[in-house]
Amino acid sequence: MATLALTKDNFKDAIEKGGIVFIDWWAEWCGPCKAFAPVYERVAEENPDITFAKIDTDKEQELAAAFGIRSIPTLMIFRDGIPLFAQPGALLQEALEELVQKVKALDMDEVRRSIAEQQTAQQGPGPEPST
């Protein structure tokens, strides 16, 4: 499967449909983006069970701003609608393939439990019971 072009109009649907979604934030003028593109395409072809998407930061400035994209290329990974990874910089093919395997191997029930625990900890203890 070729990569999917994401825009503000189809972004939410792509993320919320479930499964694994890799996103390459890029721009036409970006040299490192152009160098990373063939690596990203090869790994996408090897993993048809994963959605590999691209977002052109020049065309989707509002979306890039919403996600705080300040450097490109930036790789972002979602699984089952949960953001798992975001890192600027081009990756070597071996590193990208390793990320694919790690994301596939994640126990998402454990991830959800961990997120719930972090949210509870951030909220702090509830009010003291009155006597």
Catalytic residue among 20, 30, 72, 99: 30
Q: What's the CA gap between 27 and 114, in Å, rounded? A: 34
Mean of pLDDT over the chain: 92
pLDDT tens digits along 73-96: 999 999 999 999 999 999 999 999
**Fold assignment, 4-106:** Glutaredoxin (3.40.30)
Catalytic residue among 6, 20, 33, 64: 33
Q: Is 30 a known active-site residue?
A: yes
Helix (H) or strand (E) holding 52: strand 51-56
Q: What's the CA gap between 7 and 13, in Å, rounded? A: 10
Point out the least confidently predicted range of 37-41, 42-46, 89-93, 115-119.
115-119
Spans of all domains in the chain: 4-106
Residue 128 banded pLDDT, cuts 50, 70, 90: low
Give mean pLDDT, residues 15-21.
Answer: 92
Rounded to two decimals, the pTM is 0.88
Q: Read off the tokens for 90.
A: 């081009």
Q: Read off the tokens for 62.
A: 């509002």
Q: Is 33 a known active-site residue?
A: yes
